[in-house]
Amino acid sequence: MGITATGHSEPATSGERIVRVGCPAHNCGGRCLLVAHVQGGRIVRLGTDDRPGDTLADPQLRACTRGRAYLRRQYHPDRLMYPLKRVGRRGAGEFERISWDEALDLVAGQMRRVKETYGNSALFVPYGTGSYSQLNGSVVARRLMNLFGGCLGIYNSYSWAAINVATPYVYGTLETGNQRQDWLNSKYILMWGWNPAEMRDGTNSELFVRRAREAGARTVCVDPRMSPTAVALADEWIPIRPGTDTAMMSAMAYVMLTEGLHDAGFVRTHCVGFDASQMPPGCVGEESYSDYILGARDGVPKTPDWAEPITAVPRATIARIAREYATTKPAVLYQGYGMQRRAYGEQVVRAGCVLAAITGNVGIHGGWASGLANQPDGGCAWYVFPTGENPVPASIPVFLWSEAVLHGKGMGAEHGVIGTERLDNDIKFIYAIATNCLVNQHADINRSVEILRDETKVEFLVVQDQFLTSTARYADVILPACTQFETWGVEDGWKYGEEVLLMPKVVEPPGETKSDYRICAEIAERLGFGGEYTEGRDERGWVDWCLDSYRRTRFPDLPSLDAFEASNAGVHSKPVTAPAVAFEDFRRDPEKHPLDTPSGKIEIFSARLFEMRRPDEIPAVPKYVQEWESPFGPEAARFPLQVIGHHTLHRVHSTHDNNDWLEEAFPQRAFINPLDAEARGITDGDEVRVWNTRGATVLRCRVTLRVMPGVVDIPEGAWWAPDEHGVDRAGSINVLTSHRWTPLAFGTAQHTAMAQVEKA
Amino acid sequence: MAASRYAFFFDAASCSGCKACQAACKDKHDLPVGLLWRRVYELVGGRWDREGEAWVPDVFAFNLSLACNHCDAPICAEVCPTGSMRRRDDGIVLVDPETCIGCRYCAWACPYGAPQFDDVSGRMTKCTFCADHLDLGLPPACVAACPMRALEFGERSELEERHGPSPGFFPLPDPALTKPGLAIVPHRDARRAGPRTAAVANREEVGR
């Protein structure tokens, strides 16, 4: 048999040019390789990674359905082709075509005016990942602002706010993950709220879990929804009531403690705060983790009996999973990110880390410390393009931009402001580049658009994008950006980072579109620092610069740009034959290799959190805290269903919403359990109205056993489409979500929302 | 050396239903919305029970990625009144758009939903096994696409030798009917699926 799946290469037909190119970078969690077939200046077909071999150490980077359907976005008739200026009231969606000169003069003029009137700290570039390569998206606007004297900064992200902040309180670092090939050394993999088969948490993560199972690992998936991961990768699925994961984790700890299943030796030598014998200085006599779990202070032992009515997981199941995880070693407890985008998201992150620690699964092959799990050597570089230093020292958490518009001046640490005591300005000018976070992806859309509509607050709003998104509808000026196939870019593997993907310009930008970089360079020119902005480089020149940076760090063998381009390889990878393990040194000798925590050890009890003196919301040991909207609160009487919004393969957040092949594959639906549907007279396919005090959305439903009772699941990212009554008709979940942020990380808690569902 | 008889292999145990195969097929063959030469069926069954204050699922789900199985006894060819549906020597079943009259008999006869009517051309269309790729020694687009490596192709006997014999299971028709070129590893829950216990949950996504 001469034909196998390996050793092949995409054929070019006559008159065709083939370009291997990194899949346009959005914030999907994958970084994959496409093979673009170009005929007559147009991409006609997109293959995927065709490198021979496809080994465990260096697997092919096969694109998902979104990458393979990309041409429906690339050649969509609604692409923005020329600059637009608002003519109606803000948000009415009425625009007229203007020239580039007029558009750029307007933007540069407004930047100058706002700077002169208020100062640089009134300028703002929001979080955005709609284009997310080193040369595309918000990075190029940050460089522009920084050379202009700076703008109000941001820190953290929508995706990982709580996990970014909470992980270091336990471990002193975000680098808590082993390299993924190491999962093949695991005997037990607990995928907690983690769905790599759908959200692509690193290209090939789902494949590595598959291989780990084949190597003998038992796999369990804890999720309110029977996700694609639960179907394809799990031996067992355990549905859990959203927002109660920490209760189940605490009850698991109870079983371990009372049955002596925890690794007492490791806890003694590597942790602090487990029990009264190892409390940090100044906290002796305070409530230890064991005290909390056993109920020594609050009189409530965190037994499986206690957890069952909270989590809806049977007590026997909780106890069994506790025993399995504690005794089947080495084991992985991989924490997904959805459950930390919730009311007390910091707690579940710390609770998972503590389970990994007290079972001794830290610093060993086949184990996993939990937490954010960046790679031991830092993993991917995230940002390489030189944005420069921001001369404005103040930064806000990304999620609080709406507060900085409403009442920025005077905002301080109580709103997570860093770099200054108090902000000296409200946000007055926004340059929104490759982002739908001002409207569609931010919490509480009806509140957000109310804020944006007021032209005395944000005085000028520039949106730079490829489509008239929900956010772009609120722009004063829209600048049409080209896609990532139409300019140069470069990216490295997302989170895990074992490859560099070249993104050569494949086709010319259509209409009057320009690259994000070119647009910013032309604004810089108008502001008088064009030369400083470009340093004489075009997009390809900056890719060369970025390759140098990669070469100096993780990829010393990276070829020159000319050679990389000439090879048409598209990818330069670093095969992983000996997967690295986080905390190996610390495990071996905690005195010689202390962690970067105050105690140098794993902090089950955090003295720093204790000092904050907010034990109800920020306890010193991880605790289950009932959410501010919950099935157990008075709000449940009117709004009895919990709303979650999974990451669908229809979209990358809101990108691709208008892709018809993806709508065909994964139509936007409200997923609801048959028991909840029957109780409301709803049948499969009905139009339903999902609503709460913040808003309403009408969409068709899918009645499915794959969502647990009490939960309605509306995949995030559909483009908000209000009717004349303000009711969304697109299934845009953020008309239902709350802008209240998490207590420690000031992160989004958008998944904490209650609603009612009725037949529309 | 070309295989004498091409078949697909599908590992239903590992399929997540991500539809990269479907998108790759549509890209390769420029298929408009509505034409799904490869499509993914989601089978779901079971029930929920209340035990104390817990919710206990007895729920199962699995996916079936199906294209044309290029059967040994292609009933589509049997019923075609114009002889437009033909099986090549290598087993690939193709429709000749020059002689097809779009009568849809093949679509009605095929138990897998493989032949599909193109509203624009008024002709039947179907999976070609990416015959042009095979002629060049390359895999079909769907096989090369699968992120989970759950799709393969080759000679059926060889695929079954590698992966074990292929049982028939719901909702697939009795293989004796058309002798499909489809080797398959069932999901563990396939044994629970039957006409009264499971249903295609994503009917609107698979069309026709």
pLDDT at B4: 58
Quote the pTM value: 0.97
Name the residue type at position A546. C
Please state whether B114 falls in left (phi above 0), alpha (psi between -120 and 50) or beta.
alpha
DSSP A421: S
CA distances to A134, A400, A465, A524 from A543, in Å? 8, 33, 21, 20
Reported as type and span, the H/E element at residue A145 is helix A138-147
Q: Do the beta carbons of residue A246 and residue A254 sit within 8 Å?
A: no
Spatial distance between the Cα atoms of A539 and A656, rounded to a whole number of angstroms: 25
**CA A196/CA A655 separation, integer angstroms:** 19
Domain-embedded: residue B81: yes
Average pLDDT over residues A673-696: 98
Chain A residues lying within 8 Å of B62, measured CB to CB: 231
Query: For testing the chain B interface, which of A661, A663, A669 should be mutated: the one with the most B CBs within 10 Å?
Result: A661
Instruction: Name the residue of chain A whose CA is nearest to B151's CA.
Output: A5
**Closest C-alpha to A728, from A341, A472, A440, A471:** A440
Split into its structural domains, chain B has a count of 1
CB contact under 8 A, A231 and B16: yes
Q: Report the distance separating Cα A34 and Cα A14, nearest Å.
A: 20
Q: Is B143 on the interface with A (CB under 8 A)?
A: yes
**pLDDT of res. A10:** 66
Nearest CA in chain B to A214: B14
Q: Do the Cβ atoms of A304 and A318 come closer than 8 Å?
A: yes
Distance of CA A268 to CAs A271, A279, A287, A358, B182, Å? 6, 11, 17, 10, 57
Q: Is B102 on the interface with A (CB under 8 A)?
A: no
Q: pLDDT band at A179, cuts 50/70/90?
A: very high
pLDDT-derived band of residue A437, with 50, 70 and 90 as boundaries?
very high
CA distances from A135 to A26, A54, A162, A689, B13 (A): 12, 29, 28, 41, 40
Q: What is the pLDDT of residue A11?
A: 67
Rounded mean pLDDT of A451-477?
Answer: 98
Mean pLDDT computed over A573-595: 97
Confidence of residue A163 (pLDDT cuts 50, 70, 90): very high
Residues of chain A in contact with residue B16, where contact means CB-CB under 8 angstroms, are 197-198, 206, 228-229, 231-233
Sheet of A33-39: strands edge to edge?
A: A17-22, A33-39, A42-48
For residue B1, pLDDT over 90 is answered with no
- CA A223/CA B174 separation, integer angstroms: 36
Residue A4: which pLDDT band, with cuts at 50, 70 and 90?
very low
Distance CA A462, CA A711 (A): 38
The β-bridge partners of A572 are: A500
User: A404-418 pLDDT, tens per residue?
Assistant: 999 999 999 999 999
CATH of the domain at B16: 3.30.70.20
pLDDT surpasses 80 at A2:
no
d(CA B39, CA B116): 12
Residue of B14, B9, B12 lying closest to B41 (CA atoms): B12
Alpha carbon of A93: minimum distance to chain B alpha carbons (Å): 29
Does domain A634-737 sit in CATH 2.40.40.20? yes
Its CATH architecture, for the domain A84-157+389-486+511-552, is: 3-Layer(aba) Sandwich (3.40)
* Domain membership of residue B34 as a residue range: 6-206
In a domain, B201, yes or no: yes
pLDDT category at B156 given cuts 50, 70, 90 is: confident
CA of A674 to nearest chain B CA: how many angstroms apart? 9
Asked if pLDDT for residue A14 goes beyond 90, the answer is no
DSSP reduced 3-state for A210:
helix
Residue B93 lies in a domain: yes
pLDDT in tens, B63-87: 999 999 999 999 999 999 999 999 9
A111: helix, coil or strand? helix
Whether A88 contacts A443, CB under 8 Å: no
d(CA B188, CA A344): 37
pLDDT over threshold 90, residue A563:
yes
Contacts of A698 (CB under 8 A, 6+ apart): A687, A688, A689, A690, A727, A728, A729, A760
* pLDDT higher than 90, residue A3: no
Give percent of chain A with pLDDT exceeding 90. 96
The answer to whether the CB atoms of B61 and A231 lie below 8 A apart is yes
Residue B3, pLDDT above cutoff 90: no
Fold of A162-378+583-611: Dimethylsulfoxide Reductase; domain 2 (3.40.228)
Domain assignment of residue B40, yes or no:
yes
Contact between A546 and A525 (Cβ < 8 Å):
no
| Cross-strand bridge partners of residue A59 | none
- The predicted pLDDT at position B166 comes to 83
pLDDT at A378 over 80: no
- Looking at CA atoms only, how far is residue A384 from chain B in angstroms? 28
Look at residues A396, A399, A400, A461 and name the one whose alpha carbon lies nearest to residue A428. Answer: A461
Report the alpha-carbon distance of residue A178 to residue A181 in Å, rounded: 8
* Per-residue pLDDT at B207: 84
Mean pLDDT, chain A, as a whole number? 96
Coil, helix or strand at residue A369: coil
How far apart CA B61 and CA A705 sit, in angstroms, is 9
Say yes or no to pLDDT of B38 above 90.
yes
Does residue A665 contact residue A40 with C-beta atoms inside 8 Å?
Answer: no
B41, β-bridge pairs: B64
Residue A423 has pLDDT above 80, yes or no: yes
Least confident piece of the model among A533-537, B144-148, B203-207 = B203-207
Quote the tokens at residue A689.
């109205």
Instruction: Name every chain A residue with its beta carbon within 8 A of the beta carbon of B56.
Output: 314
Overall average pLDDT of the A145-154 stretch: 98
Give yes or no for residue B208 having a pLDDT over 80: no
In a domain, B1, yes or no: no
- Tell me how far apart the alpha carbons of residues A359 and A256 are, in angstroms, rounded to a whole number: 9
Encoded tokens for A149: 């004297």
Q: Please tell me the distance from the alpha carbon of residue A669 to that of residue A14, in angstroms, as a whole number.
A: 43
- Domain-by-domain residue ranges, chain A? 84-157+389-486+511-552, 162-378+583-611, 634-737
pLDDT of B203: 96
B86–chain A nearest CA distance, Å: 23
Token duo for residue A395: 């930064």
> pLDDT tens-digit profile of A42-54?
999 999 999 999 9
- Tell me, letter by letter, the H, E, C secondary structure of A625-643: CCCCCCCCCHHHHCCCEEE
DSSP 8-class letter at A601: S
| Three-state secondary structure call for residue A661 | helix
Give the pLDDT confidence score for residue B164 in this predicted structure.
84
